[in-house]
Structure 1
Amino acid sequence: MSSQPLPRKPRRPRPADPADATDGPLLDLNRYVPAFITFIGNKLSNSATAFYQKNFGVNVTEWRIISQLAIEPGIPASRICQVIGFDKGPVSRNLAALQKRGLLTIRTAPDDGRTHSITLTARGRAVHDKVIVAALERERRLLSCLKKDEREVLIDLLRRLHENLGAVTGQSTT
């Protein structure tokens, strides 16, 4: 009977000294624009989903789709993805849920049998018309800390940042 040594457990690396964590560069979260945009967007989306779900029975992604369809009736799913910046999977799932609830119709596009034309039903338009009142009120309350001219500057700056997203994503935003 040969006795072989038992394999040794691999050594775990020792935790870094907490003091080492301060040796490199750090983000200044009070000045880092991508963090501000992300934090604001996440908090707005989460609160909107809770509010819209409770009051209107739609989540924020469904609302974004509904509002886009009110602006551009008959658009394909690819256009919705492009405008709201979501991948096809979540948009497709939300479209299916909205269709099942009778808020929109999805038909083969008359000019191209490979794509679909998506439109709001009368019921979907009624939901839109209720939610938009709340959405605009939420926007008004959010921007209430700014003067009118500051709101215009903010909108212009956000539009320009949106148009420049390709500089970091490599994709067009239009």
Structure 2
Amino acid sequence: MTTANDGTLSLQQFLPYRLSALANRISQSLAVKYSKQYGISVQEWRILAVLGEETKLSAVAITNRIAMDKVAVSRAVKRLIEKDLVVKDLDSKDQRSHELTLTTNGLEMYQQLVPIALEHEEQVTDTLTTKEKESLLKLLSKLDNAPL
């Protein structure tokens, strides 16, 4: 599937490349929709999204959840704190760690961004039938849980 008869790799048929390229295209096209109006990056949006869902998380937990480089997460968190969208407090259970939460401004922005993200998802999957969408999610879960 990913090699030609001469033993070369067909990048356009190589699954890791295809998944990465598609994810980047979808993320960037969504970023165009919210970056001008809200002034946030893809990384900042992902952190807002995970904190909107989980409420309180450490930077390490965020890094693991969104599968982003810890340096990129750290920089994005710093920008979100500077924009008064996220606050960092000492973890009540572990004084060596910090918990990140959305500020009131951060929660308001998150609530404004969710409909934009959901509409974008609908546009991306609009050409798929309901059954194809269900199959896609099952296949992605299966791949995500595969041993690497």
- Common fold, TM-score beyond 0.5? yes
Q: 1:55 and 2:40 equivalent?
A: no
- TM-score, scaled relative to structure 1: 0.78
Q: Which consecutive unaligned segments of at least 5 residues does structure 2 have? A: none
**CA shift at 1:81, angstroms?**
0.4
CA contact (8 A) 2:26 2:124 kept: no
Q: Which residue of 1 aligns with 2:68?
A: 86
Partner SS, residue 112 of structure 1: coil
- Percent identity, aligned pairs only, is 30
**CA shift at 1:134, angstroms?**
0.7
1:51-107 Cα offsets, whole Å, 9 max, x none, are: 221122211111100010011111100011001111211101110110111001100
Structure with larger RCO (C-alpha < 8 A, sep 6+): 2
**CA shift at 1:163, angstroms?**
1.6
C-alpha distance in structure 1 between counterparts of 2:71 and 2:13, whole Å? 34
Aligned length: 145
Q: Which consecutive unaligned segments of at least 5 residues does structure 1 have? A: 1-21, 168-174
Partner SS, residue 118 of structure 1: strand
CA contact (8 A) 1:50 1:59 kept: no
Q: 1:109 and 2:91 equivalent?
A: yes
* Runs of at least 4 residues off by over 4 Å: none
C-alpha distance in structure 2 between counterparts of 1:33 and 1:150, whole Å? 18
The structure carrying a bigger helix percent of its residues is 2
Q: 1:99 and 2:81 equivalent?
A: yes
Largest Rg, 1 or 2: 1
